[in-house]
């Protein structure tokens, strides 16, 4: 892990850009941290630059709680090399949606599974590097999308203790099956009136999670209209489970 | 409204039992209130004495926020005269459940609709009396069950500005239709693994509500296992909408 830039935000948060091999990422740490800070991994749908305003908002929330936060670019996102495995599937998906056709499971599998297969080891390598830094330690949470990545991480990465997942993307059936193996506490956010999202599939996924403690928060406001009070709810969820 | 007893709880809350005609009830007010306090009406499934521990817990939450809280006994609940209209329906419901048969809509209608028809005017008369007291004023919320009563109140009582509803009881189809007329902000609590509750019916009811701002919180823990963090979520919901 190599740090490439550093700046302070409002004297409260230290923001450092880094690269891990070819993967760019950002680490935010609370400026006033004393003990090793719990860490929230911030997932997103790809395109770190476009997602930055939302991510830095979440990171400020985390810092206010005394948590570090970090994110990395997805395979094929931002300036990373095109992710060939998913490009044809994305084109097929767009064609099906434009034609008003149902999206085949096979297209969803081709779109999402290669991404999960590559992104999850990248997140785990990032976690190795982050936890080796001074000032970061203790429990780890995952927050955000792509939900299939969050599910796989929750299954295979024992250092992740709790997750906030956004039910907002296509989910392969094999991931729904993997969800039965998830046992960590979960907060799942669903936009009830999200026309680009299959509500029943999201409810089925929530049902499938094996976690004894899982909570679904469904709200109005469309795909991007998650109400601001859910940010506070996510904060409280992580405070309950990571401190 | 006639007060029949008065006690202070921990110097923080004044608890007063009252009767309104034949209806017994309890009013809790914050001991330290300065301005007129917003008021939360606490619904419950009937049986004020058995429900008291949970209700006084909610009332303490309300008082800590500077809110008054009040509840009344349901028709047929506690020491009130048996509610003949629903007794036969309750027997028919129990028989169907014991026999593992589906519960006819007709039984649900006979069980719930007479209760709603009588309880809602009683709640409204109670609200008239409460708002005439010194120290109580401002916006009014409703929290609890029976959800059909909450739906009807939200439709017909313009003084109710926000509601927290427990999706945990049989809901007549006519009430689901009425839900489309509800426009106030709602927080709906659903116990996902409640075997005595029809989950799909609860989701359909949530979908039906006409409110632009509505949130569903689904949790594990069975019928009576609503997690304590939902008490905090309800507090924050009412603080957002009543202050």
Q: What is the mean pLDDT of residues B81-93?
A: 89
- Percentage of residues in chain A having pLDDT higher than 70: 99
Q: How far apart are CA A43 and CA A146, in angstroms?
A: 7
Work out the number of other CB atoms within 10 angstroms of the CB of residue B157: 17
pLDDT the model gives residue B114: 95
Q: Which residues of A touch B203 (CB under 8 A)?
A: 203
Nearest to A67 by CA among A58, A75, A79, A76: A58
User: Whole-angstrom Cα distance, residue B190 to residue B209?
Assistant: 15
Cα gap B11→B27, rounded to integer Å: 15
Give residue A32's pLDDT band: very low, low, confident or very high (50, 70, 90). confident
pLDDT band at A125 (very low <50, low <70, confident <90, very high): very high
What are phi and psi for residue B233, nearest 5 degrees? -65, -40
* A233 to B232: CB separation less than 8 angstroms, yes or no: no
**Is the Cα dihedral A18, A24, A1, A243 positive or negative?**
positive
Please say whether the beta carbons of A57 and A44 come within 8 A. Answer: no
Average confidence (pLDDT) over B52-73: 96
Range of the domain at B31: 2-81+114-242
Q: What is the pLDDT of residues A168-226, one digit of tens each?
A: 778 999 999 999 999 999 999 999 999 878 899 999 999 999 999 999 999 999 988 99
Residue B97 has pLDDT above 90, yes or no: no
Q: Does B220 touch chain A (CB under 8 A)?
A: yes
Local confidence band at A242 (pLDDT 50, 70, 90 cut-offs): very high
Percent of chain A with pLDDT over 90: 83
H-helix or E-strand spanning residue A205: helix A199-208
Identify which of B69, B44, B58, B221 has the alpha carbon closest to the alpha carbon of residue B144. Answer: B44
Within chain B, residue ranges assigned H as helices are: 48-64, 84-98, 105-131, 147-156, 173-179, 199-208, 229-242
Which of B212, B229, B236 is facing A220, going by the closest CB pair? B212
Contact B218 A213 (CB under 8 A): no
Residue B101 has pLDDT above 90, yes or no: no
- Look at residue A211 and tell me if it is in a domain: yes
Q: Which residue in this structure is represented by tokens 């004023």?
A: B137
For chain B, what percent of residues have pLDDT higher than 90?
A: 83
Of A40, A233, A243, the C-alpha closest to B217 is A233
Question: How high does pLDDT run on average in chain B?
Answer: 94
Residue B208 lies in a domain: yes
Supply the CATH number for residue A20's domain.
Answer: 3.40.50.1820
Option in B192, B214, B218 nearest A220 (CB): B214
pLDDT, residue B223, reads 87
B113, HSE (Cβ side, Cα atoms, 13 Å)? 12
Query: What is the per-residue pLDDT for B10?
Result: 85
The residue-averaged pLDDT of B30-35 equals: 81
Across the interface, of A215, A227, A229, the residue whose CB is closest to B218 is: A215
* B121 belongs to a structural domain: yes
> Chain B residue closest to A213 (CA)?
B220
**What is the gyration radius of the CA atoms in chain B, in angstroms?**
17
Ranges A82-86, A102-106, B62-66, B121-125: which has the least confidence: A82-86
pLDDT of residue B124: 98
Query: Both tokens of residue B59?
Result: 């009332």
Report CA Rg, chain A: 17
Reported ipTM: 0.90
Give how many domains chain A has, as a whole number: 1
- The tens digit of pLDDT for each residue in A54-99 reads 999 999 999 999 999 999 999 999 999 988 888 899 899 999 889 9
What pLDDT is stored for residue B170 in this prediction? Answer: 85
B74 inside domain: yes
Q: Cβ(A30)–Cβ(A37) under 8 Å?
A: yes
Quote the pLDDT of residue A57: 95
* B20 occurs within a structural domain: yes
Give the range with max mean pLDDT: A10-14, B126-130, B199-203.
Answer: B126-130
Partner A contacted by B239 (CB < 8 A) = no
pLDDT tens for each residue of B138-169: 899 999 989 999 999 999 999 999 999 999 77
Burial of A227 (0-12, 13-18, 19+ CB in 10 A): middle
Q: Is A91 part of a structural domain of the chain?
A: no
Q: Is residue A48 in a domain?
A: yes
Summarised one tens digit per residue, pLDDT across range A180-191 is 999 999 999 999
Peptide bond into A146 cis (omega under 30): yes
Considering the domain boundaries, does residue A191 fall inside one?
yes
At B160 the pLDDT is 98
The answer to whether B232 contacts chain A (CB < 8 Å) is yes
pLDDT band at residue A23 under the 50/70/90 scheme: very high
């Amino acid at each position: 892990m190599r740090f490439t830039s550093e700046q302070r935000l409002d004297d409260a948060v230290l923001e450092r850009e880094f690269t891990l091999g070819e993967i760019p990422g950002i680490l935010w740490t609370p400026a006033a941290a004393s003990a090793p800070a719990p860490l929230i991994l911030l997932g997103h749908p790809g395109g770190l630059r476009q997602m930055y305003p939302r991510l830095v908002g979440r990171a400020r929330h985390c810092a206010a709680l005394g948590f570090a936060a970090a994110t990395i670019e997805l395979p094929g996102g931002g300036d990373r090399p095109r992710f060939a495995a998913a490009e044809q599937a994305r084109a097929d998906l767009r064609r099906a949606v434009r034609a008003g056709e149902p999206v085949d499971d096979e297209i969803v599998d081709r779109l999402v599974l290669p991404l999960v297969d590559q992104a999850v080891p990248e997140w785990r390598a990032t976690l190795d590097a982050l936890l080796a830094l001074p000032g970061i330690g203790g429990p780890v949470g995952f927050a955000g999308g792509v939900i299939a990545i969050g599910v796989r991480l929750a299954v295979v990465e024992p250092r992740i203790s709790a997750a906030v997942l956004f039910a907002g993307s296509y989910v392969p059936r094999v991931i729904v099956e993997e969800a039965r193996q998830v046992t960590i506490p979960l907060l799942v956010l669903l936009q009830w009136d999200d026309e680009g999202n299959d509500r029943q599939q999201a409810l089925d996924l929530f049902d499938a999670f094996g976690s004894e403690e899982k909570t679904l928060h469904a709200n109005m406001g469309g795909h991007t209209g998650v109400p601001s009070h859910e940010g506070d709810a996510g904060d409280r969820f992580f405070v309950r489970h990571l401190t």
